[in-house]
Amino acid sequence: MDIRKVAAKARVSTATVSRTINRSDAVTPATAAKVWSAIRELNYHPNTHARTLSSGKSHILGLIISDITNPFFPDLVKAFESIAIERHYETIVTNTEYNPERMALCVHRLLDRRVDGIAIMTSEMEPGLVDEVQRAGVPIVTLDTGRPAKRFSNIKVDYSGGIRQAIQHLVGLHHDRLAFIRGPQRLKSAQVRYNAYARVAKENHLTTSGGLIADGEHSIEGGFTAMLNLLPQKPTAVLASNDLSAIGALQALHHKKLNVPGDISIVGFDDITFSRHTQPELTTVRIPRTEVARLAFEALMSTPASENGKEWNVSTELVIRMSTGQCPRTRS
Amino acid sequence: MDIRKVAAKARVSTATVSRTINRSDAVTPATAAKVWSAIRELNYHPNTHARTLSSGKSHILGLIISDITNPFFPDLVKAFESIAIERHYETIVTNTEYNPERMALCVHRLLDRRVDGIAIMTSEMEPGLVDEVQRAGVPIVTLDTGRPAKRFSNIKVDYSGGIRQAIQHLVGLHHDRLAFIRGPQRLKSAQVRYNAYARVAKENHLTTSGGLIADGEHSIEGGFTAMLNLLPQKPTAVLASNDLSAIGALQALHHKKLNVPGDISIVGFDDITFSRHTQPELTTVRIPRTEVARLAFEALMSTPASENGKEWNVSTELVIRMSTGQCPRTRS
DNA sequence: CTGTTAGCGCTTTCAG
DNA sequence: CTGAAAGCGCTAACAG
């Protein structure tokens, strides 16, 4: 079942069949109709590999993430795939498992498959790999990594703005001892969040003594421990670098029979699905992942083979739920 | 950069290069060495599409799931991909979004990409589609759907056994009013769980009056509502068809200021990651998803082009955590 | 507007 | 054990 059979049945050349499949407008509606009906009758499906081979475009996109098991990613992946499907692209998703070697492997596999673009959503990236992709002539888009260059775009999330939204919310509730649970400082996105906390806290004349900073490793367990370490410093509110560690903090407080937000307020970052279901529901800074996915796709599509990419900005949104309230000391 | 350049550099024919790449043992170690070094020097990567076109094997597998956003799936997907990579297969993951039309679309897209096998892990399946895949000559494996047939394998999870484990655990704790939160009855896997509950409860001479059954839709919200509806019937323990609805039940009880397991015991099903982090930690029946992924891959690999598939069994495991305890009425 | 034809890069007989 | 050559199924000039 190949294009020749269709051509024969429709009594045209294979070129014409190819043209009508590709919706070239250089085909008379009449002949196109003949071809389509032949296609239907024979239940013909073009061979994508043959297509790729001769056209040079695979219509496959690569999406690299850290770990599909991390609740940050599923929404992103889902959104990216939906958009891709809509635009008739297939997507291959690969996990780096936070491992640089594995990241290199992912990139190479995608390059071998001759993908038409690679979206790297891991907030870490070896510059060497970007080069390689660029040399391969494949558009690439990353999350918070580097500046636009040849075929290279970047999506920039306004983490600082998000932290500022959170702190202002807390300050508005009269909190004055604001602790921070950091993420792994080797992650650029975690660094940025921490720096923003330090800066904005200072702007608001809040103490940021060492005791108010703890490391939460961006995990529930880490957040739990971090919160326990923070407790002796009597913070009135705690800002976590991501939702997972905020959830850990929530559990630690529950464990210590402290009330949230009665005794302490908690704010997360990311707005993973589960944040809506914690006890109490978590106030958090949302990263609009659907939007990120959309921009990533757009960036890949809009980067003509030889042009420079651009920088795409996305801003965060404070989602106020039940884990934040008036500072206990200032309540009537 | 193609196979010809390599052949030229190594001073052999393209056939020989092809053979050494494919590790045919019809190549002298000496010539193979020459070829490999040429490959390395030129940094040659075979074009997978050309390969697929002429060999007929794409080395791509399709993995169809309902929704990557459902916490049941990420582990499964991750495990499947790791195994696939290890064995040098690429995998394309697609979401049906619980929609039959979309499922058909997924299957067709995969067939168009000439995948070497399709794993459908959705616990729902149109028989028509299976036929189509079979006719296309592509091995297929499903989860709890139908009996083995030509190139068609099935993985059978022992849901009944799981329900039995849960009920026996509860009976051992002297519970006698055991409620059940059902899943959507159009899902075969949910039906099986419900039927098993009814049967095993009866075997143990427990009441299963209508009031002890509620619909939880396999979601947190659904579980919440279901639990509220169950409360007037004063169950001493509740078994949920999946963890999400068990988590909803937990929240409902918390909301009503009831203690788990002091007042009521709760058991979930699946053992999603988050079950370890609920308050209290959820006792649940684990479906070993890594094992399921492994078997699915194995099933696809071990189905020679024209042979019948087989049935692969996987059993569940009761994970006892903190949400179950002695029946309150029978405590000293 | 349609047909002819030369590849795309690799695998695979078939000879030798 | 190695090479020559015929495709795999499609696209893209180039003619007409």
- The whole-number pLDDT of residue A306 equals 67
- What is the CATH superfamily name and number for domain A159-287? Response regulator (3.40.50.2300)
What tens digit of pLDDT does each residue of A7-52 get? 999 999 999 999 999 999 889 999 999 999 999 999 999 999 999 9
- The whole-number pLDDT of residue B148 equals 84
Protein contacts on strand D: list nucleotides below 7 Å from a Cβ: 1-5, 7-13
- In which band, very low, low, confident or very high, does the pLDDT at B167 lie, cut at 50, 70 and 90? very high
The predicted model gives B190-210 an average pLDDT of 91
- The whole-number pLDDT of residue B42 equals 95
Is the CB of A306 less than 7 A from some atom of nucleic acid strand D? no
Residue of A47, A49, A101 to mutate when probing chain B, most B C-beta within 10 A: A49
- The whole-number pLDDT of residue B265 equals 98
Q: Of B69, B108, B112, which has the smallest distance from its Cβ to A75's Cβ?
A: B69
pLDDT over threshold 90, residue B281 = yes
Between A328 and A230, whose confidence is greater?
A230
Residue of A60, A244, A277 to mutate when probing chain B, most B C-beta within 10 A: A277
For residue B282, what is the DSSP state? Answer: P
Is the CB of A14 less than 7 A from some atom of nucleic acid strand C? yes
Rounded to the nearest integer, the mean pLDDT of chain B is: 94
Rounded to the nearest integer, the mean pLDDT of chain A is: 94
Is the CB of A22 less than 7 A from some atom of nucleic acid strand D? yes
The structure's pTM equals 0.94
- What is the CATH superfamily name and number for domain A3-55? lambda repressor-like DNA-binding domains (1.10.260.40)
Is the CB of B54 less than 7 A from some atom of nucleic acid strand D? yes
SS3 B176: coil
CA distance A78 to A147: 26
What tens digit of pLDDT does each residue of B77-120 get? 999 999 999 999 999 999 999 999 999 999 999 999 999 999 99
Is the CB of A22 less than 7 A from some atom of nucleic acid strand C? no
- The whole-number pLDDT of residue A305 equals 67
What tens digit of pLDDT does each residue of A264-306 get? 999 999 999 999 999 899 999 999 999 999 999 999 999 876 6
The predicted model gives A133-145 an average pLDDT of 92
Q: Contacts by B97-106 with C-beta closer than 8 Å and gap 24+?
A: B97/B66, B97/B67, B98/B66, B98/B67, B98/B122, B98/B124, B100/B124, B100/B126, B103/B64, B103/B129, B104/B129, B105/A85, B106/B62, B106/B64
Is the CB of A11 less than 7 A from some atom of nucleic acid strand C? yes
CA atoms in the 13 A half-sphere facing the CB of A188 = 14
**Nearest CA-CA partner of A163 in A216, A223, A241:** A241
What tens digit of pLDDT does each residue of A67-76 get? 999 999 999 9
- The whole-number pLDDT of residue B306 equals 67
- The whole-number pLDDT of residue A331 equals 57
pLDDT over threshold 70, residue A332 = no
**Chain B from 70 to 99: CB within 8 A of any A CB:** 74-75, 77-78, 81, 85, 90-95
**Chain A from 151 to 210: CB within 8 A of any B CB:** none
- The whole-number pLDDT of residue B305 equals 67
The predicted model gives B306-322 an average pLDDT of 92
CA distance A246 to A118: 32
- Report CA-CA distances (Å) from A95 to A73, A74, A253, B59: 10, 12, 33, 18
Between B146 and B88, whose confidence is greater?
B88
Q: Is there a contact between A112 and B68 if contact means CB atoms under 8 Å apart?
A: no
What distance in Å separates residue A168's CA from the closest CA in chain B?
30
**Nearest CA-CA partner of A146 in A162, A163, A123:** A123
Output the CA angle A18-A24-A28, nearest 5 degrees: 95
- The whole-number pLDDT of residue A84 equals 96
**Lowest mean pLDDT, pick from A289-293, A303-307, B32-36, B279-283:** A303-307
pLDDT over threshold 90, residue A210 = no
Q: Is A46 on the interface with B (CB under 8 A)?
A: yes
Q: Contacts by B192-196 with C-beta closer than 8 Å and gap 24+?
A: B192/B144, B192/B159, B192/B160, B193/B159, B193/B162, B193/B163, B193/B241, B193/B269, B194/B241, B195/B160, B196/B159, B196/B160, B196/B162, B196/B163, B196/B164
Class of domain A60-157+288-315: alpha beta
B275-303 residues labelled b (16+ CB within 10 A) or e (exposed): bebbbbebbbbbbbbebbbbbbbebbbeb
Q: Of A68, A90, A251, which has the smallest distance from its Cβ to B77's Cβ?
A: A68
pLDDT over threshold 90, residue A189 = no
Q: Which two tokens stand for residue B150?
A: 């030509």
- The whole-number pLDDT of residue B127 equals 82
Question: What residues does each domain of chain A span?
Answer: 3-55, 60-157+288-315, 159-287
The arrangement of strands across the sheet holding A90-95 comes to: A90-95, A60-65, A117-120, A140-143, A152-157, A311-314
Q: Of B78, B94, B220, which has the smallest distance from its Cβ to A69's Cβ?
A: B78
pLDDT over threshold 80, residue B28 = yes
Bond prior to B280 in cis (omega within 30° of 0): yes
Given a contact cutoff of 8 angstroms between Cβ atoms, the answer to whether A202 and A208 are in contact is: yes
- The whole-number pLDDT of residue B38 equals 95
Given a contact cutoff of 8 angstroms between Cβ atoms, the answer to whether B211 and B181 are in contact is: no
- The whole-number pLDDT of residue B15 equals 95
Examine domains A60-157+288-315 and A159-287 and report if their fold is the same.
yes
- Report CA-CA distances (Å) from B270 to A195, B73, B178, B321, B323: 40, 11, 19, 14, 15
Q: Is there a contact between A81 and B91 if contact means CB atoms under 8 Å apart?
A: no
Q: Is B308 on the interface with A (CB under 8 A)?
A: no
pLDDT over 90, % of chain A: 86
The predicted model gives A169-183 an average pLDDT of 96
B142-181 residues labelled b (16+ CB within 10 A) or e (exposed): bbbbeebebbbbbbbbbbbbbbbbbbebbbebebbbbbbb
